[in-house]
Structure 1
Amino acid sequence: MPDAVVNFSLLQRTCSLVVVLCFLHISVTLIYYMRNSDSRKAFVQNQQTPQMHRKLTEQKVTTEDIRLNRLSSVTNITETERKLETCPDNPPHLVGPLRVEFSDPVTLDLVRSDNSVLQPGGRFKPRDCIAQQKVAMIIPFRNRDEHLKYWLYYLHPILQRQELDYGVYIINQAESSDADSVAGEETFNRAKLLNIGYAEALKEYDYDCFVFSDVDLIPMDDRNFYKCYSQPRHLSVSMDKFGFRLPYTQYFGGVSSLSKEQFLKINGFPNNYWGWGGEDDDIFNRVASKGMTISRPDAIIGRCRMIRHERDRQNDPNPQRFDRIAHTRETMGKDGINSLTYTVVKVEKDQLFTKITVDVGKP
């Protein structure tokens, strides 16, 4: 009998312990469930089908929600733009020396198909970085359609690899006596067309650099950057026409670049050089007279090829050029961008370029 009492007491204690443990388990479970009910609710909502979720959301959307969502979207776009870094000094897609040939014909349709990234007017800016400079390419032009095709064919890919924010402007000299003409027969005035290109380009965009290029010169190395430097830059320093040598130290012809500040410092280019020759030397004198020097790439990187051609009609050597060059310092203050006059005849926006036909007047 005493053994039975002992066994019963032991059984009673065991049962009591089990009851206590069960109570504790239930209590912990309830507490855990209550604390995580919000998370479970969110989880259940995330498992709903898109249709169910859309229906529930539509019931809760308010005008304020829409406003906040739009504001959030704009903020996200702005933050993405801010994350773009400035393009590097040495863009990663440059290839160096290039093979430049003029034996195979080139069509504008071919060039357009190869440059689908361009915006109307021959505009481009890199997508993955912010260009260091905004560059206007200014080409003085008349009756050089075949040359222009090669220039566009070679230069657009080069300028894009150089990661420039650029636009191409063809400044076409029309016959001053006929406002409807697109290919004039008046005496050619290269420097004045360059001034016009500067003025017209700034009407469209806040360019800070200007590259002035003859249409028949093609660079043979894409490391020859078509941009501006701390000093005016001569880019076509090693032309096949001159045996890949600089013809003389003061030579500043072919292709050059000046920043907006440098251009205004010399009052732009002269407007009174009619016919061939002299304006490049006048520009060199302007640069030197303002205490600036000409910078150049080395003779290897600065190589370029010229498309062979006969001299244009109405572009005979300027007989007054030597006298004008001798008086640059006296005339540059009143002959330049501050005295520029012209009339725009027509503006054409092509995918590859902006062509501006102008009446430049007569000598």
Structure 2
Amino acid sequence: MSRLMLGRTLERICKAVLLLCLVHFLIMMILYFDVYSQRFDIFSRFNNGRGANNSRGAHHYYYNFSSGRPNTTFASYLATADHLLPSTKPEANHTPPTPKPLPPCPEVPLGLVGRLLIEFSSQITLERVQRENPNVTEGGKYTPPDCRPKQKVAIIIPFRHRDNHLKYWLHYLHPVLRRQKIDYGIYIINQLGEDTFNRAKLLNVGYTEAIKDAEYNCFIFSDVDLIPMDDRNLYHCYDQPRHFAIAMDKFGFRLPYAGYFGGVSGLSKKQFLKINGFPNEYWGWGGEDDDIYNRITLNGMKVSRPDVRIGRYRMIKHERDKHNEPNPQRFSKIQNTKNTMRKDGISSLMYRVVSIKKYPLYTNISVEIGKPPPRPLKG
């Protein structure tokens, strides 16, 4: 009887031990899954990958859990699978950041130096000017890299047989314009042939050809022999037509008369079209600037000018060009501006472009503009 009781007691103890082991095992499993729940998330990712079999260009990975490799365990698979399956972390954005918009260029740029020393005794070469202005692009164009100009400026020069003057002009003006933060292009309008020179008509040609090349809204018309002596004389357009060269050394640094509009002037596109451009019928020297001044005032505009201390210019000395003799009809034509400006101007311009060549420092446009009409016989 005592043996039977002992056997039952041992049986109960064994059952209790087994139950205790089972409880311990369950607790360990719960802790195991709780700690490694992040690892087991791989199953959901693996199943999602299998569900994307129909996606174009998708990559699929298959694993052999019974590969027969020594010491291959499920834990080791989990350790390597993180490197094989796509990460759930968002991918880095490789799109280059959008550049910040440039600020507007200041009304008065900070890099200006004021009064300039201008001399014409040094020998200037185009190669030297090009080295000094590496940021000027083909065709003589430049855009400030650090700010956004309000205007796009075409600088137009009537030209014939003035190559040496052009070198000095490019040497001095390119640095000035860059310091002024001007978005500009330079156009040399070369009159072919040896017929009488016509400055104003060449300026009309320059306007017409420049707007074909770019969307300019400001036009500076400059003689090739005039160099500004102060870079605070800003080469852009104003609310009213602008006369820049108001104090030349030729005239003792004074304005020769109130209606003078010669040398260097500037008009916006709107102002230029309002006066129908410049007259085409001033053959030879003189008169066209006064006609332009009349067109401006007759159309209700006023000429604006810089301070006389800033609008100073040096002129490169030279002999009068052949076939640019004074125009004997200039005085009668000036008096008749009111009657001629609507029919003689940009609306009646006729010419032929022979060639357009873009050099590193400027654009050269060679044109044929015709001949002056025969003069009426005296008496």
- If the length of structure 2 is used for normalisation, what is the TM-score? 0.75
- Deviation, 1:119, is 1.0
Report what 1:149 is aligned to. 167
- Deviation, 1:117, is 0.7
Deviations 1:319-354 (A, max 9, x none): 000010000010000000000000001111100000
Report what 1:115 is aligned to. 133
Structure 1 segment 1-363 matched on structure 2, within 5 A: 72-73=95-96, 76=97, 79-80=98-99, 82-175=100-193, 185-363=194-372
- Deviation, 1:115, is 1.1
**Using a 3 Å threshold, how does the CA distance of structure 1 residues 186 and 32 change in structure 2: closer, same or farther?**
farther
- Structure 1 runs (4+) greater than 2 angstroms displaced: 30-35
Q: Give the Cα–Cα distance (whole angstroms) in 1 for the partners of residues 134 and 199 of structure 2.
A: 31
Deviations 1:237-266 (A, max 9, x none): 110000000000000000000000000000
Please list every run of 5 or more consecutive structure 2 residues that lacks an aligned counterpart in the other structure: 1-26, 43-82, 373-379
Partner amino acid for 1:95? V
Deviations 1:184-207 (A, max 9, x none): x11000000000000000001000
Partner amino acid for 1:198? Y
The structure that has the greater radius of gyration is: 2
**Using a 3 Å threshold, how does the CA distance of structure 1 residues 324 and 119 change in structure 2: closer, same or farther?**
same
Partner amino acid for 1:343? R
Report what 1:53 is aligned to. none
Counterpart of 1:113 in 2: which secondary structure?
A: helix
Q: Give the Cα–Cα distance (whole angstroms) in 2 for the partners of residues 139 and 131 of structure 1.
A: 22
Partner amino acid for 1:228? C
Q: Give the Cα–Cα distance (whole angstroms) in 2 for the partners of residues 308 and 261 of structure 1.
A: 35
**Using a 3 Å threshold, how does the CA distance of structure 1 residues 130 and 32 change in structure 2: closer, same or farther?**
farther
Partner amino acid for 1:138? I
Q: Give the Cα–Cα distance (whole angstroms) in 2 for the partners of residues 295 and 240 of structure 1.
A: 20
Report what 2:51 is aligned to. none
Partner amino acid for 1:133? Q
Counterpart of 1:262 in 2: which secondary structure?
A: helix
Q: Give the Cα–Cα distance (whole angstroms) in 2 for the partners of residues 346 and 284 of structure 1.
A: 32
Deviations 1:257-303 (A, max 9, x none): 00000000000000000000000000000000000000000111101
Report what 2:22 is aligned to. none
Decide which structure has greater helix share. Answer: 1
Q: Give the Cα–Cα distance (whole angstroms) in 2 for the partners of residues 330 and 167 of structure 1.
A: 34
Deviations 1:28-83 (A, max 9, x none): xx779959x99xxxxxxxxxxxxxxxxx89x97xxxx9xx96xx34xx3xx31x52
Q: Give the Cα–Cα distance (whole angstroms) in 2 for the partners of residues 347 and 186 of structure 1.
A: 21
Percent pairwise identity = 60
- Deviation, 1:90, is 1.3
- Deviation, 1:208, is 0.3
Partner amino acid for 2:333? R
Q: Give the Cα–Cα distance (whole angstroms) in 2 for the partners of residues 308 and 169 of structure 1.
A: 22
Q: Give the Cα–Cα distance (whole angstroms) in 2 for the partners of residues 208 and 151 of structure 1.
A: 23
Q: Give the Cα–Cα distance (whole angstroms) in 1 for the partners of residues 125 and 37 of structure 2.
A: 74
Counterpart of 2:294 in 1: which secondary structure?
A: helix
**Using a 3 Å threshold, how does the CA distance of structure 1 residues 231 and 32 change in structure 2: closer, same or farther?**
farther
What value does the CA root-mean-square deviation take over the aligned residues?
2.5
Counterpart of 2:321 in 1: which secondary structure?
A: coil
**Using a 3 Å threshold, how does the CA distance of structure 1 residues 31 and 298 change in structure 2: closer, same or farther?**
farther
